[in-house]
Amino acid sequence: MTAPSLTLPRPLLRRRPSRPLLALLAAILAVLALAAAPTTRADALGISPPGANDWDCVPSAEHPEPVVLVNGTFETMAKNWWTLAPVLADAGYCVYAFDYGVTHVVPATGPVRDSATELGTFVDRVLSATGAQEVDLVGHSQGGMMPRWYIGFQGGAAKVDDLVGIAPSSHGTQGLIVRDDDGEGSALAHADQGIAYRTCAACIDQQAGSAFMQELASIPDTVPGVDYTVISTEHDEIVTPYTSQALDGPEEQVTNLVLQDLCPRDPFAHDQSPNDPVVHQIVLDALDQDGPASKDVSPTC
C-alpha cells in the first residue's frame, strides 16, 4: 500500500507556511505513513536477503561456523541484511537470517525474552541443516543485544562462537520515547521513519533501566567460550549514548570499536550502519579471527 500524494493549493505554495499549517501537514503525513507501514512490513516478512538461507550450503573447513544474521527492532531480515548477507556469502560463509518477534505484522517488536527463544530455535535448525557445532551471530541494534540473553540464560553459550554487534543496544538506550500503558508498551517515536507503532514490548525492554535490562545486567556482559565484537558509531541517534554499546570483558575476548576512530569521516548513523562498507570489513575481520576483531583492524575508508 502506497500513501497517497498530498497536493497543496496554489495560494499555500506562494507564501511561507505557518507553524500551525506545518504541524497539520506533518500530522497528515504521519497518519498516511502509518497506514502504509503495516502492509509494507507484512509484504516483506519471510523474504530472505541475497545470499542467505541456502539450506543446502555446506560449511567449508576455512569457515566452519555458519553465520546467523539477527535484525534490529522494526526491521525485516531482507531490509537489514540486503548488503551484508551477499558480502558474507561471497566470502565463503553459509549465511542465514530470519524474522522474529512479529507483533501485528511489525517485526522484532515482541518481548526480547521470547525473541531470544525464537533465535535459539533458529540456531538449532541451522546447526541441524549444516552439521556445524557452533554458529557465529551478527546482529544489529536489538539483534546485537538480544543474543546475549540467549547466550546467558538459554544455553546459547555452547552453540555460539562469535557475537558481532553492530550498534547494539547492549545496556539499553535513552533514545526511545515510549509509554508502558497497556502491559505491552507503545512506541511513541522511532527515528527510522518517524512512525508511531503500538504494542512494542521490545521498545520497553530496551529502555535503559528497564526491568529486562536490569535482569540482563545481573550476569556479566560476556561468558567464557564466546568472542565479542562491538561496532559503534558516534552518529548513533537511537542507541544513546553510543558509548553504552561497549561490552566489558577480558581483552582477549572482547573488542569494542568506534567507526570514527578508524575512519574519522564515516557518516553512517544507526539505521544504515549494517550497510556501511567499513562495517562489512570489520565483520569479516571478526569472523576470520580466532577471537574477536583485531583491535588494530585497518579498514579501507
For 213-236, how does the pLDDT look when each residue is reduced to its tens digit (9 = 90+)?
999 999 999 999 999 999 999 999
Q: Supply the pTM of this predicted model.
A: 0.81
Query: What is the rounded CA–CA span in Å between residue 240 and residue 81?
Result: 23
Identify which of 107, 97, 232 has the alpha carbon closest to the alpha carbon of residue 164: 232
Higher pLDDT, 128 or 41: 128
Mean pLDDT of the chain: 83
Worst-scoring range by mean pLDDT, 43-47, 50-54, 150-154? 43-47
pLDDT above 60 (res 199): yes
Instruction: Give me the phi and psi of 184, to 5 degrees please.
Output: -110, -25
Whether the predicted pLDDT of 169 surpasses 90? yes
Cell numbers at residue 233, please? Answer: 558509531
Q: What is the pLDDT of residue 176?
A: 63
Domains of the chain, with CATH numbers?
1-44 (no CATH), 48-288 (3.40.50.1820)
Q: What percent of the chain has pLDDT over 70?
A: 78
Higher pLDDT, 115 or 20: 115
Read off the pLDDT of each residue in 153-161 and give the average, rounded to a whole number.
97
pLDDT tens digits, 273-289: 999 999 999 999 999 99
Give dist(CA 245, CA 230) in Å, integer.
7
